Amino acid sequence: MTASSVRVGLVYPELLGTYGDRGNAVVLVERCRRRGIDAELVEVTAGTPLPASLDVYLFGGGEDDAQVMAAAGMRSGAATIASARDAGAAVFAVCAGVQLLGTTYEAGDGDILDGLGLLDLETRAGEGRLIGECLVTPARTTGLPVLTGFENHGGRTTLGPGVAPLGRVTVGHGNGVGGVDGVLADHVLGTYLHGPVLPRNPALADHLLGWVVGTDRLPPLDDPLVDALRTERLADAMLTGFAARRRDWHLNRG
C-alpha cells in the first residue's frame, strides 16, 4: 500500500466491464473510506501502460472482441503486474479477467492466444454458455462465507497442478471444469461471479482489502441493505422446481 492512500485500479473499464464490474472498484474504495482509510479509484484506460503504483488491480469481464483487444495491452504490462503483486498489491479478476491471467485462452474465432502467464490455468471454449445464479463455497481456511453471483460465459477454465480454486460450486457452473470456481493464489483472486460480486459479498471485498492494508481483521461495517441483498440472492439461487425453471427461462430468453 502507498503511504498516502489505497489506489484501486480499474483496468481498461471500456473493454472489461460488461456486467457492471466497475461496481467492484467502487465498493473497495467506499469500504476503505468508511473505515477512515484514504482511498482513490484510478481508471487505467485502454492503450495506457499499466502503472506499477496501484494497490489493487481489477480486471472485469468482457465480450470476445473486447477481451482480445484488452489482452495485448495487459500482456505488455505482465511484468509490471507481477512485480506489483510481489510488492504486496492485490489482483482481482472476474470472468474474462480470470481467463487473461492464465497461460492461454481460446478467442471467439477459435484462435488460441497467450494470456499474462501470471497463473497456471488455461481456458477453452465449451458447448453452450453457462448462465445463471451461482453459489460458491470457499475453503474453510479462507474464513469466507458462501459467495453469491451471476455467471454468463462460454469458457471452460482448467487449473494447473497446485493451483487452488476460490471454492467449490454448489449452484451453477463456475469454471465449468471440476466443480469449482475461480482461482485463489498469493494476492491473486479470480472468479466467474458477476453481480457485481463485491457488492453482493462484502466479506470478499474485505478479504482483498486485508491483503493490501496488512490485516486479517478489518473493523466490521453495519450494512443492513447489503445483508438484505445477500439474503435475497442466496434464496433465489437455491430455488428448485417450477420456480427455478421460471427464473432460468427469464434469464435465457434474450
**Residue appearing with cell numbers 461471479:** 193
Give CA–CA dist 13/46, Å, rounded.
Answer: 8
Helices (H), 78-120: 78-86, 96-101
Is residue 11 within a helix (H) or strand (E), and if so which, with residue range? strand 6-11
153, 173, 187, 194: the active-site residue: 194
- Other CB atoms closer than 10 Å to residue 33's CB: what's the count? 14
Give CA–CA dist 182/176, Å, rounded.
Answer: 10
Is residue 188 within a helix (H) or strand (E), and if so which, with residue range? strand 188-191
Which of 49, 134, 62 is CA-nearest to residue 94? 62
Residues in the chain: 254
Residue 32 catalytic? no
Residue 173 catalytic? no
Helices (H), 90-157: 96-101
Q: Which three cell numbers stand for residue 219?
A: 473493523
Residues 6+ apart with CB under 8 A from 240: none
95, 134, 173, 207: the active-site residue: 95
Q: Which residues are catalytic?
A: 95, 194
